A and B are shown apart, each in its own frame.
Chain A
């Protein structure tokens, strides 16, 4: 074995190992829950704000993407979650241009695209509203084992919606990387989320393969 070949092999091994090792080696550094390798990648087809255009996961290749399930008749927990995310985004500096927050309505009957657009628009340009038909929503929620329930009523006061409170975070190659248990607590770790988002935006080289996979 010549020295040159040896070096090449070593480099090849190193490159192949990078996507996994980069995420695992310094595991302790994340502020949110590391779900690398244990949660499925981002995969969906839905209508998106502002104009109802159909989008799918590949529209978000190259972005660090947050995925959250809510509804617009939610004046307390959903705005609190998104206000805290917006506060975190404000601390990400230039990285913010590569970050998106997907607000998936679990109440598509009432949440039309114009209402979703107005609602997510309250929180900032990085916030996107997604509305799927029953099948599209079922596919996405099952994929991430997100439970929700909608109990319609003619009386809006009795129309009950229960939804998951976690935020899933995907890297630029659409791989699931982090789980933020809830941003609607009394002590949300806003600085921690900001640091994690910036770190994901900056790790582009190590998620090179996943990113490529997403493009192809």
Chain B
């Protein structure tokens, strides 16, 4: 990426062209951080898998390093037929979960998908997710058509 290319253009070009190259790179990338473009960075990605027949949850931090607001509008992963943006809320002692259409990410701001709040909902985990090891290449989609992929560390329920 040259210094003369506009960050946003570079981001779009990368998102549009290099999806398969990304996936290959992801297989060897460390799960710590993946700056896919000058505009966004996904860190701390992890998929918590419980049981094969039950939904798994994805968590991460997304930083918008650009000057324009972004709207996270969806997600996909090879081992999740359906991967939704979900939010857990608690009101009046009642816990509920619902799908959300989009999550705004302000310029130079970040959002956190973390337990008890926003999460990615993988309705039916398959493939490598069931091994509780390795990484899953999760792609986050934005309302403006761009996308970013990041390796999510696959884990089971960690307790003691």
Contacts and interface: CB of A to CB of B under 8 A. Distances in A.
Contact of A163 (B53, B94, B121): B94
Nearest to B87: A76
Q: Give the interface SS of chain A, mostly helix, strand, loop or mixed.
A: loop
13 contacts: A75-B57, A77-B95, A80-B115, A83-B158, A115-B54, A147-B94, A156-B55, A157-B99, A157-B123, A160-B97, A162-B96, A182-B90, A184-B115
Interface in B133-160: 156-160
Given A76-B97, A89-B160, 20 more contacts: A72-B50, A75-B48, A75-B56, A75-B122, A76-B57, A76-B115, A77-B95, A77-B97, A77-B115, A79-B115, A79-B157, A80-B115, A80-B116, A83-B157, A157-B121, A161-B96, A163-B94, A164-B94, A165-B90, A182-B90
A12 interface: no
A163 B93 CA distance: 8
B50 A122 contact: yes
A79 B46 CA distance: 15
Contacts of B88: 76-77, 184
A186 interface: yes
Chain B: interface size category = 20 to 34
Interface residues of A, number: 34
Contacts of A156: 55, 123-124
A90 interface: yes
A124 interface: yes
A185 interface: yes
Nearest to B86: A76
Given A90-B160, A122-B156, A123-B159, A157 B56 contact: no
Nearest to A188: B116
B50 A75 contact: yes
Interface in B15-67: 48, 50-51, 53-57
B82 interface: yes
B70 interface: no
Contacts of B157: 79, 83, 122-123
Given A83-B157, A157-B82, A184 B53 contact: no
A206 B159 CA distance: 33
Contacts of A162: 94-96
Contacts of A164: 93-95
Nearest to B59: A76
B138 to A, nearest CB: 15
